[in-house]
Amino acid sequence: MFGDSLSAAYGIQASQGWAALLQQRLQREGYPHVVVNASVSGETSAGGLARLPAALGQHKPAIVLLELGANDGLRALPVKAMRGNLERMLQLSRDAGARPVLFEMRIPANYGAAYGDSFRGAFTELARNAHAPLVPFFLAAIALDPGNFQDDGLHPSAAAQPKLLDAVWPTLKPLLAKPK
């Protein structure tokens, strides 16, 4: 898993984050997969791209979950650069024999419709062009309730983490080897 603070369990115990909950679900349901969470709080797509080759070589994953781009958007970095970074990450994952899964990210409306539409559209376009599964915006189920977030209003609370996993599971499950 390559992500930012949303996947790194920022502000909560790592064991409460959706990545840890994913590992628990996999074990409970008999799947042989091991979750390696290489997420870093504050990570941009450029940072992820810089770190990905070493991680692919070290862990030799079957599936790579790419949950990046939110920090690019929050910093109003050029969408074209983010798209290029993510496209390269999708290709590097494939070249390493892994199945990449891209997460759709969105940014707050105050960034403007033009930037927001371009930002969101980049994920759909990338997934389509790369024939990669796309996890629909996984904060959608919690985004409108401030009670689902920590005091900073950006990072999901521990109580909201199962909902994040539930948002990812329908896209991920069909890609997994059959459980034991």
**Which CATH number fits the domain that encloses residue 85?**
3.40.50.1110
Residue 40, both tokens: 């870093």
pTM for the full model? 0.95
Residue 93, both tokens: 């994952």
Which distant-in-sequence residues (6+ apart) come within 8 Å of 32 by Cβ?
Answer: 26, 177, 179, 180
- Is the pLDDT assigned to residue 108 strictly greater than 90? no
Q: Which is catalytic among the residues 7, 45, 93, 155?
A: 155
**178 is a domain residue:** no
Q: What's the number of domains the chain is made of? A: 1
Average pLDDT over residues 147-157: 96
Residue 159, both tokens: 């109580």
Q: Which is catalytic among the residues 4, 5, 39, 93?
A: 5
**180 is a domain residue:** no
Residue 166, both tokens: 């539930």
53-83 residue pLDDT tens: 999 999 999 999 999 999 999 999 999 999 9
**136 is a domain residue:** yes
The kind and range of the H/E element at 114 are: helix 113-130
**How many CB atoms are located within 10 Å of the residue 121 CB?**
13
**97 is a domain residue:** yes
Residue in the structure block whose two tokens are 């080897």: 177
Average pLDDT, the chain: 96
**88 is a domain residue:** yes
Residues of the chain above pLDDT 90, percent: 96
**123 is a domain residue:** yes
Residue 72 bears catalytic tag: no
Residue 33 bears catalytic tag: no
82-98 residue pLDDT tens: 999 999 999 999 999 99
Q: What is the pLDDT of residue 74?
A: 94
pLDDT band at 180; cut points 50, 70, 90 = low
Residue 45 bears catalytic tag: no
127-144 residue pLDDT tens: 999 999 999 999 999 999
How are strands ordered across the β-sheet holding 63-67?
A: 2-3, 63-67, 99-103, 134-135
Please measure the distance between the N-terminal and C-terminal CA atoms of the chain and give it in whole angstroms.
23
The answer to whether 20 and 14 are in contact (CB under 8 A) is yes
Name the residue range of residue 137's domain.
2-169
| Region class of 131: left (phi > 0), else alpha (psi between -120 and 50), else beta | left
**176 is a domain residue:** no
For residues 160, 161, 167, 172, the Cα torsion angle rounded to the nearest 10 degrees is 180
